[in-house]
Structure 1
């Protein structure tokens, strides 16, 4: 057991008068051993305080103070730094608590001899003094003595001291002053510990005689002791959110604070306290954590609470400094209120056969937060909507339920429909025992006179294709929904695309009217639809759909292309081609197909099956290029098929297409036909134009000439021909004036170019007097056109197109106009003398160069006259082969 030592501490307690609190002198220093054993006791004696209500408290957990003032060490304490400081509170009923700072200072024990006499030993002054302490916020008068430092060298030398550092010759200046003779340090002004907690100075000692430094520099530390001069300050958020209806102990939030005072003292040890809101919240005194103390927090009653919190230092002591703040606690909404209906039951009325109509609006009330999942309603029809006649939606603007009729109601089936509607929220209910509510809705259906109704909206009959006409398919009848009878109802077809069905007007029987073809484009997936209408005596009608499911018959044999192309790579290499067949019938009357050659075939070809619809036709013997007829028999799965001839063309190919063959000099029948076709088309076009012109008011008979006598002439000779009569021009003019016919062998006007024969026609071929018009009349009619268009322009236009003169309706007038213009031109040329070069640039007549030629003209338009005899092409020289080809292709 540890030895108990007693130490008496005398506290000077001054009390001015009864009723005032005790005043304690502070700080107080006590010397203690280097190691304080557990159970070490210090007795506190007081005077001037009320002994009946006096009590003590220790702020150091290593020590406790009994009510009689005895301080006991609870555990062994080692004085590592040589000093330990703690506070002792003294309090009676006369006033607030007083506090004294107790400084425990290690005391050195003296050595003793055998007679227990103290052994005296000279102790050197120590040059490295302990830290000096000053109290912040010192009160005047200044300067205040702090302490003195002395060097051991002062015993042997006459010395002086110097002191440098912050507070003296460094910032902050003029905090301290010292006496260089004796080393005493003074405080010149008050110091704020929160600004300067320590000052580190350097002291030096010098010999006065020779200014020589007699000791090492010594560090001097001045510690500013804290005074509780700063109240706590709140930091961090002062606003929290918590769910409503939560139970006790739910965390709301945590407050934090700071205190500028020394954190190692009670001056900065803060305790928290609620000053309001104690019915709903609590706060932990040390951590500042706010929690709920009840489950009655209701957002619908109060959505936020304002709580006042106090933070006091000195661990909440009465003499501690404090500050307060207001904490805002918002309550988060939970779905603790279901939607409620404003009345019950709801009633509505609607006529039968009415659909897609708003029937009723159902309002609800919800106390939860608006426009949140806790408030947004959701309506469900829980009963009475088994047939899907109704739907209910939410109006987002009003949060009401909108009840619609989506499928018409039938009065004869249900004159009254009883529904049950449930209202709930998007979010589930929470923190409440309430349940979702329902409300009954009674819908009355009114009767309406309606048309007949078929036994079923859609009916299906099965029938084979190609069924004979008149065969009964079935009966599709209707009844009056009010009487449930079919009396007085007549039936009509509304839709029958193929006209395949007849409907009996009185009974609704369906019979075959025309051949039913499953392979028709009117059939989709083997189904054919018709629409039937039933009409009662009041002309009200109803419609129904009849679906004919058509069973397939094997009435289509497989078919394959009539012509195939077999590409020959080399003359010795045997080729092949794929034969693919098709069958419009369905399974099992279609593929797989069987391909066969005739039994008596000569072995030139063979067939090799490829798949269900194709076979490969292979060449067995070498064949030259050309067209060959190959008989092939294709049969379907049921053996239905026949032998057919396909033409196989063997040729040299490029990209699967036969290359063009070199044209021979001797054109065969196909060559003649190819040459004749363009000419035939041109002739038909001419006949068409003649027909149009002949149907107008003025008609002229046009003689079709079999021989146009067109010739191919050299056009590089501008001189007169060999057989030109100089009197021809004048003679033609005279005869034209008398109204006689003028024969012009060479037609066409080319300006300064020479004339050549085009088609071989003359004006005699058209007979310009057949309409009864004289030359004078024609001249009067067309002189204006001649003058307007000009000789050259009109002449080239009229003679070039042959049968189109702008503004005129008759081909006869056209040719008469041509003759008139030519006469005017020749008359002009005969009246005026010309220079030699001008005479050459005139109208000339040329000889017929085609006379005596077996081939006739070889112009592109000469084929019309010789279309019955094309053998002359074989007599032409090689130079004319390309020209013949050009004419034939065009």
Structure 2
């Protein structure tokens, strides 16, 4: 039907339909006939208490007496009459009043209290509320007394097609395998209609495709979308946009509709084989390429994606099938050729390979299309490179006896240049592996000689590295390890395994084992060690001891008799000869020292000293040592006390009867040098006529700085030492800047006209001359005071 004609019919029938449903309630109304509790049309008869009954005519079957209907969304100029309430007690009396209560009473619905007519005052929406429950009652208008019990009835809102279908999950996305059969289900869409599904066709939906044909179709009632074309290829087109319409009223004219979009994506299947971009590949590589390095890459393209595009590569034919290998790069899906064996330009200059790419995942539905693989040819050219020398063996094992002569040849290594130029080779030893320079090598022929004597017992193995260098190109070098084993000769005599301490009990029995002796040998014979033990020939018939072979390279020393006593002999010496089974045999003599000891009845050694034997029984060795230590400590204390007492009693001033000339004073302290000479004005003592002034000390700086002190008055010419010292003592007593510094002062001037002469006993003519030393009693205290000021030692002042 043309669209224009459909619109014209819609414009004509829609007003007619609305008019019909509007007048429907009034058509159903009829004259009231007495009938108890019966509704006909839109008249509700309330039950009364009278004996008579009012019967209604034109009863419509199927209607329930307590229901009324009103059309939704009706909006006329006047309120719409919904129905009428009537009681069988109403005989035309005017004293009956009708009352309405319940849902919407007074707002949506209003009742005429005289006639019982119910009107809808507002537009109703069934989708908001489908029915209203109300209560009607008739009362006496004058007395407000109920004439009958309340009656409940329902007003239902009748539906009209005022809601269009809606898709809730819009937009939709769906997938379907490419190459699917016609009619394959893709997805299902669902639309909803808010209209009443049980009244009319307002909610009866029909689905159709507006866009997406001829690729897809939809079932009109189930809304299942299916494929409509065979062999849809993802590689040709991957995505489709389909527009779906849902229309109510069963799809007839005048119905409302809604639309949605469905994006349908074709998913991949493995329907395409891999294909090499070229049938022949060329690569060039140097012969010295490192193993596992990449030679080149090949690529087989696949129109599929994901797992269906994965390919595995393999070398299926060619003359380099054992020299090269190919792996798959998981990121780029390329085949990577690698070298798995060394190449040699001089041996083979080129290789030809046949490479195959095969899909990893094969779809059985498309295997009939043919093999999902492809092949290509790879040619590899090997380029010449300057290679380092090649040793005849990667490692060498040489043997040499430890007594070999110096410069003797141990062995030989050989290397060659694999290049066509065949450069001569020069040999050398890596001295980092031969720090002691025990070996030499002939640089021309590679013969290794001995440079120093070897000792297997010190170093049984020597590992050196030999370097081979091309003479024409010194950068081309190779290294080889040479292990040199030092062979043993019998050059060491056997020795005792340890320093044995043998003890013999005085109460021992004849034949008692005193000590088991074993030996060791630094040599390493092939058949193992076997030692021979014997006593020296001079004492082979030893009266006290003998030896017994234990058949395990050891011997036991046994006592021949009992009755050994420490008082008689405390210690015995037993020389034993140990020989090996070498060729020639080596031997050595070792002396076993045997001590005679006192033992308990169980044979436990208690004491081996003779002194301990004669001590009282109740005094042990530990107690004796403790007593001796106490005596020594007391002696030390007494010596210290006497020494300190003696020093304390020595007088500070020399007595008259002491010969001062024989007291030589030594000064071990050399002083501060020039600082000591500058610490005091020595010139003043040497020349009393000098001007009294202040000369600061240079050896120690006082903490507090004071102005230089002023002298009492310049010393006149010709003053003696007595007056000079008094002046200095007075100044020192009143000067806070002159503490007694720790320095030794020298006074070279002894004064003028001293009747005592020289103060030094060293200058005396005779050591036994009778000189008067009374001046010491007079000048001693003065010098002592001066020494305290200048920290002169007590012994110096006495001198």
Normalized against structure 1, the TM-score is what? 0.50
Contact 2:349 2:382 in 1 (8 A): yes
Residues in 2 aligned to 1:791 and 1:209: alpha-carbon distance in whole angstroms? 136
Query: Which residue, out of 194, 203, 215, partners 2:127?
Result: 194
What number of residue pairs does the alignment pair up?
583
Which residue in 1 is equivalent to 2:99?
Answer: 162
Match of 2:350 among 416, 421, 425: 416
Deviation at 1:193, TM superposition (A): 1.1
CA distance in 2, matches of 1:627, 1:208: 155
Instruction: Return the alpha-carbon distance in structure 2 between the equivalents of residues 243 and 715 of structure 1.
Output: 122
Is 1:453 the counterpart of 2:390? The answer is: yes
79, 82, 87: which one aligns with 1:151: 87
Q: Where do 1:287-436 residues align within 5 Å?
A: 287-294=222-229, 296-332=231-267, 340-355=275-290, 360=296, 409-420=343-354, 435-436=372-373
Q: Displacement, 1:235?
A: 0.4
Report the equivalent of 2:746: 824
Cα 1:522–1:220 change in 2 (3 A) is farther
Q: Check if 1:744 corresponds to 2:690.
A: no
C-alpha contact 2:398 2:411 (8 A) present in aligned 1: no
Judged with a 3 Å threshold, the aligned counterparts in structure 2 of structure 1 residues 387 and 316 are, in CA distance, closer, same or farther, namely same
Q: Equivalent residues in 2 for 1:94-173 (5 A)?
A: 129-138=65-74, 140=76, 142-154=78-90, 159-169=96-106, 173=107
CA contact (8 A) 1:344 1:440 kept: yes
Aligned equivalents of 1:124, 1:651: Cα separation in 2: 146
1:548 lines up with 2:483 in the alignment: yes
Q: CA deviation at 1:198?
A: 0.5
Residues of 2 paired with 1:781 and 1:335: CA distance? 108
Conserved 8 A contact 1:390-1:407: no
The 3 A distance-change label for structure 1 pair 143 and 791 is closer
Q: C-alpha separation between the residues in 2 aligned to 1:328 and 1:282? A: 14
Does the 8 Å CA contact 1:453/1:480 hold for their aligned counterparts? yes
Relative to 1, partners in 2 of residues 1:602 and 1:423: Cα closer, same or farther, differing over 3 Å? farther
For residues 149 and 543 of structure 2, what CA distance do their matches in structure 1 show? 137
Q: Counterpart of 1:343 in 2: which secondary structure?
A: coil
Do the aligned partners of 1:721 and 1:844 also contact (CA within 8 Å) in 2?
A: no
Alignment of 1:553-702 (within 5 A): none
**How big is the shift at 1:724?**
8.0
Q: SS in structure 1 opposite 2:163?
A: coil
Report if the CA contact (8 A) 1:165-1:202 is conserved: yes
SS in structure 1 opposite 2:746?
A: helix
Relative distance call for 1:286 and 1:666 in structure 2 (3 A) is same
Residues in 1 aligned to 2:460 and 2:650: alpha-carbon distance in whole angstroms: 73
Q: After superposition, what is the alpha-carbon deviation per residue over 1:216-256, rounded to whole angstroms, capped at 9, x for unaligned?
A: 21111011121122110010142314255252355543322
Partners in 1 of 2:525 and 2:193 — Cα distance? 97
Matches of 1:332 and 1:205, distance apart in 2: 74
Give the Å deviation of 1:279: 3.2
**SS of residue paired to 2:244:** strand
Unaligned runs of 5+ in 1: 1-15, 30-81, 84-102, 104-120, 567-578, 609-622, 653-658, 672-710, 733-741, 751-777, 793-820, 849-890
The question of whether the paired residues in 1 share the 8 Å contact of 2:417 and 2:424 is answered with: no
1:442 to 379, 396, 403: 379
- 1:695-722 CA deviation, whole Å, 9 max, x = no partner? xxxxxxxxxxxxxxxx978666795255
Secondary structure, counterpart of 2:126 in structure 1: coil
Aligned mates of 1:548, 1:542 — CA distance in 2: 20
Cα distance in 2 for residues equivalent to 1:335 and 1:154: 88
Please say if residues 745 and 792 of structure 2, whose CA atoms lie closer than 8 Å, have aligned partners that are also in contact: no
Coordinate RMSD, CA, aligned: 6.6
Q: Write out per-residue CA displacement over residues 765-805 of structure 1, whole angstroms, 9 at most, x where no aligned residue.
A: xxxxxxxxxxxxx999995799743699xxxxxxxxxxxxx
Q: For 1:482 and 1:422, how far apart are their aligned partners in 2? A: 35
In the TM superposition, residue 261 of structure 1 has moved relative to its aligned partner by 0.5
- Structure 1 residue 285 corresponds to structure 2 residue 220: yes
Report the equivalent of 1:774: none
For 1:340 and 1:644, locate their aligned partners in 2 and report how far apart those are by CA, in whole Å: 93
Contact 1:454–1:542 (Cα < 8 Å) also in 2: no
Corresponding residue for residue 239 of structure 1: 172
> What is residue 529 of structure 1 aligned with on the other side?
463
Whether the 8 Å CA contact 1:199–1:223 is kept in 2: the answer is yes
Equivalent residue in structure 2 for 1:477, among 401, 414, 433: 414
CA shift digits 1:517-538 (9 cap, x unpaired): 6776685xxxx53333445664
Going from structure 1 to structure 2, the CA distance change for 1:662 and 1:21 (only over 3 Å counts) comes to: same
Q: Contact 1:340/1:366 (CA < 8 Å) preserved in 2?
A: yes
The residue aligned with 2:159 is 226
Question: Equivalent residue for 1:183?
Answer: 116
Quickly say closer, same or farther: Cα 1:165–1:832, change in 2 above 3 A: same
Q: Is the alpha carbon distance of 1:192 and 1:441 closer, same or farther for their aligned partners in structure 2, counting shifts above 3 Å?
A: same
Query: Could you tell me how far apart the structure 1 residues matched to 2:90 and 2:645 are?
Result: 155
Kindly state the Cα deviation for residue 337 of structure 1 after the two structures are TM-superposed. 5.9
* Distance verdict in 2 for CA 1:142–1:530, change over 3 Å: same
SS at match of 2:246: strand
* Whole-Å separation in 1 of the counterparts to 2:593 and 2:256: 118
**Given the superposition, is the C-alpha separation of residues 147 and 499 from structure 1 closer, same or farther in structure 2, using an over 3 Å criterion?**
same
1:842-853 alignment, distance < 5 Å: 842-845=792-795
CA distance in 1 between counterparts of 2:168 and 2:438 reads: 93
Contact in 2 for aligned 1:364/1:400 (Cα 8 Å): yes
Corresponding residue SS for 2:180: coil
Cα distance in 2 for residues equivalent to 1:580 and 1:225:
125
Q: Does the 8 Å CA contact 1:722/1:846 hold for their aligned counterparts?
A: no
Q: Distance in 1 between matches of 2:665 and 2:698?
A: 25
Do residues 720 (structure 1) and 652 (structure 2) align?
yes
For the structure 1 residues 192 and 522, does the alpha-carbon distance in structure 2 shift closer, same or farther, using more than 3 Å as the test? farther
Residue 149 of structure 1 and its aligned partner are, at CA, apart by: 3.4
Change in Cα spacing, 1:536 to 1:258, as seen in structure 2 (3 Å) is: closer
Map 1:753-832 to 2 at 5 A: 783=677, 788-789=698-699, 824=746
Q: 1:2-53 CA deviation, whole Å, 9 max, x = no partner?
A: xxxxxxxxxxxxxx99xx9998897799xxxxxxxxxxxxxxxxxxxxxxxx
Q: Give distance in 1, aligned partners of 2:309 and 2:489.
A: 69
Distance in 2, matches of 1:544 and 1:231, equals: 92
* Residue equivalent to 1:834: 782
Describe the shift of the 1:483–1:399 C-alpha distance in structure 2 as closer, same or farther (beyond 3 A): closer
Asked if 1 retains the 8 angstrom alpha-carbon contact of 2:323 and 2:339, the reply is no
CA distance in 1, matches of 2:298, 2:194: 64
How far, CA to CA, are the matches of 2:357 and 2:176 in structure 1?
A: 24
**Structure 1: how far apart are the matches of 2:783 and 2:214?**
138
Deviations 1:332-369 (A, max 9, x none): 56676666544342223333324487755657766566
In structure 2, relative to structure 1, the CA distance for the partners of 1:291 and 1:724 (3 Å cut) is: farther
- Quote the residue 2:765 is aligned against: none
- Partners of 1:142 and 1:189 within 8 A in 2: no
Contact kept in structure 1, 2:163 and 2:195, CA below 8 Å: yes
TM-score (norm 2): 0.55
In 2 relative to 1, CA 128–837 (structure 1 residues): closer, same or farther, beyond 3 Å? same
Check whether the contact 2:460–2:487 (CA below 8 A) recurs between aligned residues: no
Q: 1:489 Cα shift?
A: 5.2
Using a 3 Å threshold, how does the CA distance of structure 1 residues 153 and 445 change in structure 2: closer, same or farther? Answer: same
Task: Give the whole-Å Cα distance in 2 for the aligned partners of 1:301 and 1:716.
Answer: 125
Deviation at 1:268, TM superposition (A): 1.9
